[in-house]
Structure 1
Amino acid sequence: MSSIIQLLPDHVANQIAAGEVVQRPASVVKELLENAVDAQATEIKLLIKEAGKALVQVIDNGIGMSVTDARMCFERHATSKIRLAEDLFQLNTKGFRGEALASIAAIAYVELKTRQNNDQLGTQIVIEGSKIVSQQPTVTPQGTSIAVKNLFFNIPARRNFLKSDVVENKHIIDEFQRVVLAHPNIHFFLYVNGSEVYNLPAGNLRQRIVAVFSGKMNERILPLQEHTEVVGINGFIGKPEFAKKSRTEQFLFVNDRFIKSGYLHHAIMGGFEGLIREGLQPSYFIYLQIDPKHLDINIHPTKTEIKFDDEHTIYAILRSAVKHCLGQFKVAPALDFEKDPSLETPYELYGKEVSIPTIQVDPNFNPFGEAPKQQRGTSSYYKGPEPAWKALYTDLPNDLPVIEAEFVPSQTNLFESTRVETEFAQVQQLFNKYVLAKTANGLLIVDQNRAHQRILYEDFLKNITVTKGFSQQLLFPIEMHLSGPKKMLFDDMKDALYHIGFQFDTTNSDGVISILGIPPLIQESDAEDVINQLITVISEGSVSDAFDLNDKIAKSLAMSVAVRNGQSLSQSELESILQRLFSCMDSTVSPFGKPIQYTFTQEELDRKFTL
C-alpha cells in the first residue's frame, strides 16, 4: 500500500495559511494599518477600491525599510517582534513588518515601495502569488507604500464567498475605526473609490472620538479614569439616556489593541444596571493598561480575544469604575437617608437674593361698609372701553326691509356612497390592537400593526422597483449631518429613497445633506429619525445584492411608519386596512415572517362551550 501522507508544495501551504489570516479585505486593512503604526508613522493613508477587492493600499511616512528587510518581510515565519518563545508573553507592539505579508502576497498582487530617511533611493518589489516578479531601486518618499491588488485572484472560491460591496466596506470601516481610536496621536486618512471618507488630524482621545462619530458625541460621553496596581482604566462612557439598540459604538482596548470580551462587556453593563432599559446598549470607549506578562494574546489568529491570569479582579475593578463615573457626574441616583429634606433649598430659589417679606395694609378698609358697586353682579376686571362691535346693534331703525331667502335642503345623498364597501361586516377594534370582522367562515382577527406593515412594505417595494412614489415638498429643508461611513451607506440607498418619495440636496460640504421632500406617509418631524434608522439597519445587517438592499429599505420604512398597537382607529381606517391587506400578494405573514391574521370558525367556538 502506497504512502498517504505527503508534504504540501510551498505555494499550496502559503494559500492555506493565508486563509487563516486573510478572511476578507478588512483583514488586509488591519494588518497593513498596524504595520504602519509600528513603523512610527505620524501620517497614514488608506485607499480602497471596489470594497478592497481591486485595491487596498496603505501609505505611511514612517521609518521605512532597508533593502534586506523589504525582501525578508515576505518570507514565511519572518517577524520583527519575536526572537525567543518567551517573547510571546512580552509583546508591546503589533509588529513592524513580516509574517502576515507572506500570507497576503500568496493570494494577491502586491507592490511594495519603501525608503529609509538616510537613503537616497528606495526599494520597489512586485509579487504575484508569492512569486517575486521584480526588485529594483526606485525614487519614493520616506516611508512605506504597500498596494494589494486583485485579492484572492488565485483562489476564486474564496473570492466568490465575499459579500456585497456594502458589507465589505462596512467591515473595512470597522477595522479602520478600531485602529484610529487606539492611536489618536496619528493623522489618518481614508479614501473609498477616490472619495475622502475620513480626515482625522492628530489630537487627544476625545477629539478623535468626536471626529469619528460626529460632533454630537461630545455631549454624550463622560470621562472614565481609574488606576490600580492590577489595571489602569481610562476612556469615555456614554450617558445612559443615549443608549441604542445596536453595539456599533462599543470599543474595548487592552494595551492599545482592540479586543472582544463578553466577560468584560458584562462588567461594563453591570455598571449601567438600573439606568438603561433592557435591550439597549450604552456607548463606551474604554482602554485598559495591563502588564503584558499577565496576558495571552495568541489564542486567536486575529488577536481579538485575550486571556487574563486574573480576570475576576479586572471584572470587579471595571464594573466599579463605570459605577463610580456615573455617580461622579450625577448620572446615577444617589440616596442619602441622613439628609433632612426641610433644610434643602428648592431648585427654583437657587441664585435668587433673599428679601424681607412685606405686608400691605389698607387703613381705610371697613369690613362693615358697603361693597363697591362694580363688585355687585358685574366683573371689575375689565375696565376698558365698550367693544366696537356693540355699536353695530344700537339705534337700529324699526322699518328695516325683510329679505326672504329660498330654502334649499342639504344634499346629503352626495356623501352616502363614500363609505368603503367591503366584504366584511361589523368591523370592530379590540384592545386598540386587533381588528375583528365577521366573515362567511367565522370570526377574523387581524393584528393591525403587522397588517399595516405588510401593506406598506409592498407599496414601498413597488415604488422602488416599478413606479415612483409621490413626494411632499417641505417649506423649510431639514439638514442632516452624516459621518463618513453613514454618508457612504446613504449614497448606496439614495436612489431607492428617491423612488419612495424622498428628495435631497447633497451639494453641501462636510457630509451635510438637506431633505427637500418626504413621502406623504412620513411626518416631517420623523424624517431625520427614519433615515437614521434606515442607515443603522443597513449597517448592522448583511446585504448581498441590490434587491436585498431594496428589500431591507422597504422593511425598515414599513416598520417605522406602520400604525402602532395601542393606537385607536376610526371605522373607515379599520375597513381600509382589511381591504388593502387582502389586496396584497401575501396577506398571511408580515414582512418579518410573523402571522397577521387568524380565523375562528364556528366549530372552534362551539368546542370552547362543549362540556
Structure 2
Amino acid sequence: MSSVIRLLPDHVANQIAAGEVVQRPASVVKELLENAVDAGATSIKLVVKDAGKTLIQVTDNGKGMNEVDARMCFERHATSKISLAEDLFQLQTKGFRGEALASIAAIAHVELKTKEHENQLGTHVIIEGSKVVSQEVAVVPDGTSFLVKNLFFNIPARRNFLKSDQVELRHVIDEFERVALAHNDIQFTFIHNGAELFNLPVSNIRQRIVNVFGGKTNEKLVPVQETTEIVEIYGFVAKPEFAKKSRGEQFFFVNDRFIKSGYLHHAVTAAFEGLLKDGTHPSYFLYLNLPPNSIDINIHPTKTEIKFDDEQALYAILRATIKHSLGQFNVAPVLDFQKDSDLDVPYSYEGTKSVEPTVAVDPFFNPFDSMKPGSSLAGQMDSGFNPFENVKPKMSSGGFSGGKPFQDKKQHKPGGWETLYEGISDAKEIILTSANHQFDEEEITGSLFDDETSQTANYQQSYQFQKKYIISPIKSGMIIIDQRRAHQRILYEHYIKSFTVKQNSSQQLLFPLSLYYTVYEMELLRSIEQQLIQMGFLFQEISNEKIVILGIPVSVSESEVSIVLEDLLNDLQDGVPNDVDVVHDRIAKSLAQSLAVKTGTYLTDKEQENIVNSLFGCEDPQTSPFGKTTFITMKVEDIDKKFM
C-alpha cells in the first residue's frame, strides 16, 4: 500500500496559514503597521481604498531593507525579530512569528519598495499569490512601502464573506487606533478613498487620545498613575457620567501592545461599581508595563491574547489604582464625611514648601471718615431727610382718594436714622382703610359645560396599572396594553410614513446644537444624512469630528437628541445596509425604541386615551416593531370563570 501522507507545497501551506493570520483587510493593516513600528519609523502613512478590499498601502521612513531581506521577508517563518527559543520570553517587538508577510503574499498582489538610508538605490519586488513576478533595483525613498491590492483574489469564497465597506472600514479604523494610541511618539496619517480621516502629530498620550476621539474627550478623562514592583500602570479612565452603551473606547496596552483581557476588564468595572448606570460601560485607556519574562504573548497568531504570571495581584493593583484615581479627583464619593475636601492639598503641590502669607495694613485708614460733618450721608441725617417726602398717592377712579400724604400724619424730627422709616405704617393704613376699594365677593356657581358634558368628562375611559399597563374596558371585557410596546408601534409607523411621504415637520433650535463623535460614527451619519433630514433633522455642518444641528423633529426634545443619535449609531455599528427600505426600517426601529415612553412613567388620562386610540389606528397593532405582543384581551366570560 502506497503512503498517503505528503508534505504540502509552500503556497498551499501559506494559504492555510493565511486563514488564521489574515481574516479581513484590517488584519493586513495591523501587520503592516506593526512592521513599520518595529522598523523604527517616526512617520507612518496608511492609504486605503474601498475599506481595504481594493488597496492597502503603508509607507514609513524606517530603516528599510536590502535586496536580500526584501526577498526573504516573504518566506515562511523568516523574521528579524528573534533567533532563539529563549527570545520568546524577552520580546521587545510587535512581530516575531514570521508568518504575516508570507500569508499576505499568498492571497493578494503585493508590491514592496524599500531602501536603507545608507544606500543610493533600493529594491522593488512584485509578488502575486506567493509567486515572485519581478525583483529589480529602483530609485525609491528611504524606508519601506508595502502595496497590497486585490485581497483574496484567489480565494473567492473568502472574498464573498467580507462585510460591507462600512463594516470593514470600522475594523480598519479600530486597528489603526490601537497602533496609534500605543505609539504617541510616531506621526500617523490615514487616508481613505482620497479623504484624510486622521492626521496625528507626535504628542503626549492625553493629546493623542483627544486627537483620535475628538476635542470633547479631554474633559472626560481622569488620569491614572501607579508604580509597584509588579507593574507600572498609567493612562486615563473616563468619568462615569460619560459611560457609553457600547464598548468601543476600551483599550489595554501591555508593553505598548494592544491586548484583550476579560479578567482585567472585570477589574476596571469593579472599580466603577456603584458609579455607572445600568447598561453602560466605562471608557478607559490603560497602559501596563511589565517585565517581558512575566508574560506570554505566543498564544494566538493575532497576538491579542496574553498570559500573566500573577493575574490575581495584577487584578487587585489595577482595581485599587482606578478607585484611588476616581476618589482623588472627586469622581467617587469619599467615606470620610467629616473631611472637608476644600482643605485637601493637590498631589501636584505635594512636597513643595509653604510660604507664610503677608498682610498689608494701612495705619492711616479710618472707616468713620465718611461720617464727618459735611459728608453727604451725614448731611442727610442731620437735615431730617425723608425719602417718602415727595411721594404722594395718585388720585384715580376706583383708587383711594381720601388719603393724606404721609408727611401730614407726623411731624419730622431732625436727625437720626429713624427718620428713614417714618410714614411706612401710615401708608399701610391708608391703603387698607380706603373706602373706594371695591371687591367682587360673589361666588361664581355657573358651569361652562352642560350637565351631560360634565358627566362624560368624569367618566374615565382607561386606567394605568403599575405604571406599565393601560387597562381599557370594551364591550366583551377589557384589554390590557403594554404602554411601552404600544408607543413603540405608534412611533415606528409614524417614522415609516415620514420616509414614504419624504416630508416631516421640524422645529428650529434657538441656538445651534453641536455634538461630537468619532471618525467612524461621522461616516455613519453622513451615510444616513438624507434619511435623518426626511425625519425632521436639519444640519448646518457635518465635519470629521462634530455635527451642528439647526432643527430637530417635533417629537424629539433638545435634551434627547444626543441620546437618540447615540442609540441610532449603536444600532448601525454593523454598517448601513445597501437596501434603502432596510435602512428606513432600522432607523425607525431605533428611534421608536429610544423615544417610546419608558416603563414606570406615569400617564395622564389624556395620554392614556391617546395611546389607546393611536395604537388601534396602526396597521399592525398586535405586535411591537420587534415582534412582541402589545396587548391582550380578557373577556367577561373568562373573568366569570375565575369566580366559579
Same fold (TM over 0.5): yes
Given that 2:214 and 2:545 are in contact with CA atoms closer than 8 Å, whether structure 1 keeps it comes out as no
Distance 2:461 2:332 in 1: 52
Cα deviation digits, residues 484-514 of structure 1 (max 9, x gap): 222212112212212222121237x564432
Following superposition, the deviation at residue 244 of structure 1 comes to 2.4
For 1:293-372, list aligned pairs within 5 A: 293-336=293-336, 339=338
Q: Is the 8 A contact 1:464 1:497 kept in 2?
A: no
After TM superposition, the structure 1 stretch with the greater mean CA deviation from structure 2, 23-32 or 208-217, is: 208-217
TM-score, normalised relative to structure 2: 0.79
1:260-306 alpha-carbon deviations (Å, 9 max, x no partner): 11111111222222333443322211111111111111111211111
Q: CA deviation at 1:532?
A: 3.3
More moved, 253-262 vs 526-535: 526-535
Kindly report which structure 2 residues correspond to 1:514-533, keeping only aligned pairs within 5 A, or say none.
514-533=548-567
Output the CA distance in 1 between the equivalents of 2:12 and 2:625.
46
- Identify the match of residue 498 of structure 1 among 533, 548, 556: 533
Paired residue for 1:604? Answer: 638
Any idea what SS the aligned residue of 2:180 has? helix
Moved more, 192-201 or 521-530: 521-530
The amino acid that maps onto 2:630 is I
Residue from 483, 486, 509 that aligns with 2:521: 486
Q: Aligned with 2:145: secondary structure?
A: strand
Per the alignment, in what secondary structure is the counterpart of residue 528 of structure 2?
A: helix
**Pair 1:562-2:596 in alignment:** yes
Report the counterpart of residue 77 of structure 2 in structure 1.
77
Shift of 1:139: 2.3
CA distance in 2 between partners of 1:76 and 1:144 (Å): 20
Identify the residue that residue 427 of structure 2 maps to in structure 1: none
Q: Does 1:445 align with 2:480?
A: yes
| Structure 2: segments with no counterpart, 5+ residues | 345-358, 360-386, 402-446
CA–CA separation in structure 2 for the residues paired with 1:590 and 1:340: 52
- Cα distance in 1 for partners of 2:498, 2:8 equals 55
Using the TM superposition, give the Cα deviation of residue 446 of structure 1 relative to its aligned residue in structure 2, in angstroms.
1.0
Distance 1:2 1:550, change over 3 A: farther
Aligned equivalent of 2:45? 45
Shift of 1:384: 9.3
In the other structure, the counterpart of 1:552 is 586
Amino acid of the residue matched to residue 189 of structure 1?
T
| Contact residue 197 and residue 544 of structure 2 kept, 8 A | no
1:237 maps to what in 2?
237
Structure 2 residue matching 1:513: 3-state secondary structure: strand
CA distance in 1, matches of 2:331, 2:160: 49
What is the number of residues matched between the two proteins? 553
Equivalences for residues 71-470 of structure 1 within 5 A: 71-95=71-95, 98-336=98-336, 339=338, 390=396, 426-464=461-499, 467-470=502-505
Aligned letter for 1:168?
E
- Shift in Å at residue 183 of structure 1? 0.4
Give the aligned partner of residue 349 of structure 2: none
The corresponding residue for 2:10 is: 10
Larger Rg: 2
Contact 1:530 1:557 in 2 (8 A): yes
Q: Give 1:104 shift.
A: 0.8
Deviation at 1:98, TM superposition (A): 4.5
Tell me: CA distance 1:551–1:13, structure 2 relative to 1, closer, same or farther (3 Å).
farther
Moved more, 302-311 or 515-524: 515-524
Output the CA distance in 2 between the equivalents of 1:479 and 1:486: 15
**1:472 matched to 2:541:** no
Distance 2:501 2:52 in 1: 32
Gap change, CA 1:447 and 1:387, over 3 Å in 2 = farther
Paired residues of 1:249 and 1:284 also in contact (CA < 8 A): yes
Read off the aligned partner of 1:242 and give its amino acid letter: F
2:154 and 2:289 map into 1 onto residues whose CA distance is 41
One-letter identity of the residue aligned with 1:136 = E
Give the superposed CA RMSD: 3.3
Contact residue 224 and residue 235 of structure 2 kept, 8 A? yes
> Match of 1:406?
none
Hey, what's the Cα distance between the residues in 1 that align with 2:11 and 2:471?
Answer: 69
Cα distance in 2, alignment partners of residues 596 and 246 from structure 1 = 28
Shift of 1:602: 2.8
Deviation per CA, 1:346-393: give whole Å up to 9, x if none. xxxxxxx9xxxxxxxxxxxxxxxxxxxxxxxxxxx9999578794587
Residue aligning to 2:64 = 64
Indicate the larger mover: 438-447 or 469-478: 469-478
The 1-side partners of 2:531 and 2:135 are apart by 48
* Shift in alpha-carbon separation, 1:79–1:584, aligned structure 2, 3 A: farther
Aligned AA for 1:474? L
1:595 and 1:248 mapped to 2: Cα distance?
33
SS at match of 2:107: coil
Secondary structure, counterpart of 2:572 in structure 1: helix
Residues 463-472 or 247-256, more deviating: 463-472
Q: Match of 2:569?
A: 535
**1:432·1:567 contact (CA, 8 Å) conserved in 2?**
yes
C-alpha distance in structure 1 between counterparts of 2:395 and 2:561, whole Å: 46
| Matching residue's letter, 1:478 | L
- 1:436 positional shift: 1.7
Quick one: structure 1 residues 572 and 145, their matched pair in 2 at CA, closer, same or farther if it must change by over 3 Å?
same
- The 3 A distance-change label for structure 1 pair 37 and 97 is farther
Is residue 582 from structure 1 mapped to residue 616 from structure 2 by the alignment? Answer: yes
The SS at the match of 1:514 is: strand
**Contact kept in structure 2, 1:73 and 1:99, CA below 8 Å:** no
Cα offset, 1:591, TM superposition: 2.4
Rounded Cα–Cα distance in structure 1 between residues aligned with 2:395 and 2:506: 46
User: CA separation in 1, counterparts of 2:389 and 2:626?
Assistant: 67
Shift of 1:15: 1.4
TM-score, L = length of structure 1: 0.83
Distance 1:167 1:96 in 2: 29
Letter in 1 for 2:54: A
Could you list the per-position Cα deviations for residues 42-83 of structure 1 after superposition, in whole angstroms to 9, with x for gaps in the alignment?
A: 111111211111111111111111111111111112112121
Instruction: Name the SS of the counterpart of 1:223 in structure 2.
Output: strand
Give the CA deviation at 1:556.
1.8
Which letter maps to 2:529?
A: K
Q: 1:65–1:463: structure 2 CA closer, same or farther, 3 Å change rule?
A: farther
C-alpha separation between the residues in 2 aligned to 1:520 and 1:231?
A: 54
Higher deviation after alignment, 458-467 or 590-599:
458-467
User: Separation in 1 of the partners of 2:565 and 2:395?
Assistant: 53
| Corresponding residue number in structure 1 for 2:426 | none
Q: Which AA in structure 2 matches 1:518? A: I
CA contact (8 A) 1:223 1:235 kept: yes
Q: Which residue of 1 aligns with 2:355?
A: none
The SS at the match of 1:12 is helix
Q: Could you say what secondary structure the match of 2:236 adopts?
A: strand
CA–CA distance in structure 2, aligned partners of residues 387 and 2 of structure 1: 127
**What SS does the aligned partner of 1:426 have?**
coil
Residues 461 and 23 (structure 1), Cα distance of their counterparts in 2 relative to 1, 3 Å cut: farther
1:43, 1:186 within 8 Å by CA — same for their partners in 2?
A: yes
1:162 alignment partner, SS class: coil
Q: Is contact 2:519–2:544 with CA below 8 Å preserved after alignment?
A: no
Question: Using the alignment, how far apart are the partners of 2:228 and 2:596 within structure 1?
Answer: 52
Give the Cα separation in 2 of the matches to 1:253 and 1:474: 43
**Contact 2:623 / 2:630 at 8 angstroms: preserved in 1?**
yes
Whole-Å Cα distance in 2 between the matches of residues 606 and 199 of structure 1?
A: 73
1:363 maps to what in 2? none
